[in-house]
Amino acid sequence: MQGRGKKKCHSLKYHNVEDKKKVLKRLAIIEGQIRGISNMVDEERYCSDILIQISSAENSLKSLADSILENHMRTCMTDEIKKGNEKVIDEITTILKRNR
């Protein structure tokens, strides 16, 4: 697996612009959730309410990560395996182990 700063063999890609727009919209929503949590802390809201919002933001991030992972497997990984590059299997294994 290549480290940061090294040239990647592939990058995030979507089959259509609408899919990319959906991901960006979801990120904007998550960003709003995080700002909301920050405001709740600033306003000294009830801890339980803050924890519920944090859980919601975590679930949103996990769902987005799953979506990007699926896209990665259907596009980049498939392309690389067709080219004979089976090292992408090591890459995905490392990602899955980190996300347990």
Structural domain total, the chain: 1
Query: So what's the pLDDT on residue 11?
Result: 67
- In this predicted structure, the answer to whether residue 99 has a pLDDT above a threshold of 60 is yes
Q: What is the mean pLDDT of residues 55-81?
A: 91
Residue 56 is assigned to a structural domain of this protein: yes
Q: Which has more confidence, 47 or 7?
A: 47
Residue 11 is assigned to a structural domain of this protein: no
What confidence score (pLDDT) does residue 10 get?
A: 57
* Domain that includes residue 45, residue range: 17-98
Is 57 inside a domain boundary? yes
Going by C-alpha positions, the residue among 74, 77, 72 that lies closest to residue 87 is: 77
Q: Residue 50 maps to which CATH number? A: 1.20.58.1000
